[in-house]
């Protein structure tokens, strides 16, 4: 073998060894970050990793002559630079709230629970067909701002004579943050009751969508809260309790997930600090109140593009190439840590079925054909709530049933208003409780 070939082999071996050392130190840093729960914005893990690397480099250089003694320190320097990027905030650490919407006034109500929430009111725009009871909408998330899509749908209901109120749950959108330990599903239910009391207009009709449907379901199982409700519409709910959350099963017809073009725009997950923080939180290796990033910083950093294929999963496969923007960049708001915290409290909660069986509030369940929700999450509610008077299986739509495409908003509004006015259902009552086994067996 020639001298040049030998040098190349030696150089390649040293390079691979250096890369392996860098990779090892990065892995050590990530492991320490998880073990320390990101203490001190990750600096505790960073300093410890740097110390471990320095000790190993000194051990490797002990028999070397100057200046080759410095060579083992090069991987340590490179690893230190890479991991330091995880410890340095690139977004404001104080909450940066979305600007005011141009088409509706944002009010802020302080509830008796201690939450301060952003409230939006759409008065009835058709006085001749005005309905006597207020209509309250609770969006999904769980801790997420109300999308422009949702606002447009609520405006449609207001044009049909409904006095529409909605609020962003504590920590979402323009609502004030809570201490991380206070984000629980039970707090969400208490906030709902406090909101209705603050409204001070007697009983209300209510629509809860996705995780908002979970809050509404749990409200129906709490007699003191259910007493404030006139009629309830549960649309595309998630799991209502721990036993339901652990159910495995099938979803609806094929969604646009994996078919729609990738969302464009900036992603926080392209920044090392937030990629590590959100990734480890999703894996359960960091707690929602991690010391790596604060709640406000995480909210400021998270973008609509970070949702990735989750947005497409709310649409039917046939709509994959015509999904309209659900939001504006200025209005989008999502709290990943608080949402994970609320979801965990649902998973940790005992069975709701015994309490739900006592529900007497007239209710309706809405299920999408291309639902991205586990079917048993929806049918479990139907099976245990004796007050569900009708189920409406919505053809041709995904999880986000009022999505601005075709006549989907009008069709959803027709189903909702027919129930609220106690008129015949525009769609068959399907599935009924007795049809649940066949509905699941047929993978509808």
What is the domain partition of the chain in residue ranges? 3-87, 107-263+310-441
Strand 204-209 with 388-398, pairing: unpaired
Q: Tokens 């609320």 sit at which residue?
A: 342
Report d(CA 6, CA 4) in Å as an integer: 5
Is the predicted pLDDT of residue 348 greater than 70, yes or no? yes
Specify whether domain 107-263+310-441 bears CATH 3.40.50.1860: no
Joined together, the tokens standing for residue 378 give 């929806």
Give the residues across from 233 on adjacent strands: 207, 364
What value does the mean pLDDT take over residues 306-313?
Answer: 89
CA nearest neighbour of 22 among 49, 61, 55, 62: 49
Chain-wide mean pLDDT for the chain?
93
CA nearest neighbour of 83 among 138, 45, 112, 36: 45
pLDDT of residue 317: 95
Instruction: Give the helix, strand, coil percentages of the chain, each rounded to 5.
Output: 45, 15, 40
Q: What is the pLDDT of residues 27-56, one digit of tens each?
A: 999 999 999 999 999 999 999 999 998 888
Report d(CA 122, CA 268) in Å as an integer: 34
Report d(CA 209, CA 367) in Å as an integer: 11
Instruction: Judge whether 258 and 312 are in contact, CB under 8 Å.
Output: yes
Q: What is the pLDDT of residues 294-304, one digit of tens each?
A: 999 999 999 99
Band (pLDDT 50/70/90 cuts) for residue 1 is low
């Amino acid at each position: 073998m020639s001298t040049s070939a030998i040098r190349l082999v030696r150089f390649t071996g040293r390079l691979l060894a250096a890369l392996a050392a860098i990779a090892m130190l990065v892995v050590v840093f990530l492991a320490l970050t998880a073990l320390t729960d990101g203490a001190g914005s990750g600096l505790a893990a960073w300093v410890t990793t740097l110390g471990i690397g320095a000790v190993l480099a000194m051990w490797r250089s002990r028999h070397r002559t100057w200046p080759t003694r410095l060579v083992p320190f090069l991987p340590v320097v490179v690893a230190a630079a890479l991991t330091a990027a995880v410890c340095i905030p690139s977004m404001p650490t104080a909450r940066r709230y979305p600007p005011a919407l141009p088409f509706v006034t944002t009010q802020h109500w302080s509830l008796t629970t201690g939450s301060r929430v952003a409230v939006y009111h759409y008065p009835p725009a058709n006085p001749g067909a005005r309905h006597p009871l207020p209509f309250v909408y609770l969006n999904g998330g769980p801790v997420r701002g109300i999308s422009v899509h949702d606002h447009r749908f609520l405006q449609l209901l207001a044009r049909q004579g409904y006095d529409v109120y909605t609020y962003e749950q504590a920590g979402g959108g323009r609502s004030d943050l809570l201490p991380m330990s206070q984000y629980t599903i039970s707090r969400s239910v208490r906030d709902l009751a406090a909101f209705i009391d603050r409204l001070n207009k007697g009983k209300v009709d209510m629509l809860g969508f996705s995780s908002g449907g979970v809050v509404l379901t749990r409200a129906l199982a709490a007699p003191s809260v259910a007493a404030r409700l006139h009629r309830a519409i549960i649309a595309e709910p998630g799991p209502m309790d721990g036993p339901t959350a652990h159910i495995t099963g099938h979803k609806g017809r094929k969604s646009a997930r994996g078919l729609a073009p990738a969302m464009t725009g900036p992603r926080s997950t392209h920044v090392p600090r937030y990629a590590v923080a959100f990734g480890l939180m999703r894996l359960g290796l960091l707690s929602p109140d991690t010391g790596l990033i604060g709640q406000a910083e995480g909210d400021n950093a998270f973008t609509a593009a970070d949702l990735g294929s989750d947005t497409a999963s709310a649409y039917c496969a046939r709509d994959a190439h015509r999904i309209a923007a659900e939001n504006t960049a200025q209005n989008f708001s999502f709290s990943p840590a608080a949402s994970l915290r609320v979801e965990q409290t649902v998973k940790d909660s005992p069975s709701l079925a015994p309490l739900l069986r006592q529900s007497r509030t007239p209710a309706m369940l809405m299920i999408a054909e291309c639902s991205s929700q586990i079917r048993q999450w929806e049918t479990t509610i139907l099976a245990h709530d004796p007050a569900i008077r009708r189920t409406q299986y919505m053809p041709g739509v995904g999880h986000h049933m009022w999505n601005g495409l075709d006549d989907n908003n009008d069709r959803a509004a027709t189903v909702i208003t027919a129930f609220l006015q106690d008129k015949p259902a525009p769609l068959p009552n399907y599935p009924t409780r007795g049809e649940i086994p066949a509905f699941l067996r047929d993978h509808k």
